[in-house]
Amino acid sequence: MPMIQRHSILRVTTKLLTPFILMFALYVQFHGDFGPGGGFQAGVIFGAGFILYALIYGIEAAEKVAPPGIIRVVMTLGLLLYIGVGYFGMFLGGAFLDYNVLRQDPVQGQHLGITLVELGVGTTVAATMITIFFSFAGRMRRAGRSG
């Protein structure tokens, strides 16, 4: 990583920006049921913040924060959360993905359902974005080592 070491402007800016990008992602995530936003957008922003970090500091550093194996598990867990909420609605006597039955008050039920489902979407999308990036970039690195 000697070349990256030299670009101090890039490194400092990234270090400053990354927490804000991740924070903004969380804002978009949890603001999603009142206004524009939602799991997909939030997940992409979260993933983008992470990828920026990996681009500047190298994949090894990024993998230390988020080991690919764990990211992969998180990816499936997000999807399972989504489907799980759907199943839960079904167990409570509604249709699949029926949020009304999650709470006594249908409005609260909708609120809870949307929040959980969007959380599932957000985690899956962020984890998928990071995984896609790791698989491509990591492959190049492995090929570079062997060649």
Partner 1 sequence: MIAANLPALQIVLPLIAAPLCLLLRRGNLAWALALFVSLAAFAIAVALLTQVLDSGAISYELGGWAPPWGIEYRVDVLNAFVLLIVAAIGAVVLAYARRSVAQEVPTSQHSGFYTAFLLCLTGLLGVAITGDAFNLFVFLEISSLSSYVLISMGRDRRALTAAFQYLVMGTIGATFIVIGIGLLYMSTGTLNMADLGARLPAIGANRTVLAAFAFLTVGATIKLALFPLHFWLPNAYAYAPSAVTAFLASTATKVSIYILLRFFFTVFGPTFEAEEITLNNLVVPLATIAVLVCSTVAIYQGNVKRMLAYSSIAQIGYMMIGIGFGTVTGLTAGIAHLFNHAVTKGGLFLVLGCIVWRIGSCRLGDLAGLGRRMPLTMFAFVLGGLSLIGVPLTAGFVSKWVLVQAAIEQGNWLVAVAILAGSLLALIYVWRVVEVAYLRPAPDSAPEAAEAPWSMLIPAWILIGASIYFGVETSLSLGVAEAAARFLLGGAG
Partner 2 sequence: MDIPGLFNYWIVIFLMMTGFYVVIARGNLVKKIVGLNIFQTSVFILYISMGKVEDGTAPIVIEGAKGVGAVYSNPLPHVLILTAIVVGIATTALGLALIVRIKEAYGTVEEDDIFAQDEAE
Residues that bind partner 1 in the complex, under the rule CB under 8 A: 72-73, 76, 79-80, 83-84, 86-87, 89-91, 93-100
Q: What residue 76 binds from partner 1, partner 2, none (CB within 5 to 8 A, per partner kind)?
A: partner 1
Residue 80's CB is within 10 A of a number of other CB atoms, namely 13
Q: What residue 144 binds from partner 2, partner 1, none (CB within 5 to 8 A, per partner kind)?
A: none
Going by C-alpha positions, the residue among 1, 131, 26 that lies closest to residue 69 is 131
Give DSSP secondary structure letters for 96-113: TT--GGGSSSHHHHHHHH
Q: What residue 31 binds from partner 1, partner 2, none (CB within 5 to 8 A, per partner kind)?
A: none
Q: What residue 3 binds from partner 2, partner 1, none (CB within 5 to 8 A, per partner kind)?
A: none
**Which residues of the shown chain bind partner 2 in the complex (CB under 8 A)?**
35-36, 40, 132, 135-136, 139, 143
Distance in Å, CB of 66 to partner 1, minimum = 18
Going by C-alpha positions, the residue among 46, 62, 48, 35 that lies closest to residue 123 is 46
Residue 143's CB is within 10 A of a number of other CB atoms, namely 9
The values of phi and psi at residue 103, to 5°, are -130, 165
Nearer to partner 2, 12 or 140 (CB): 140
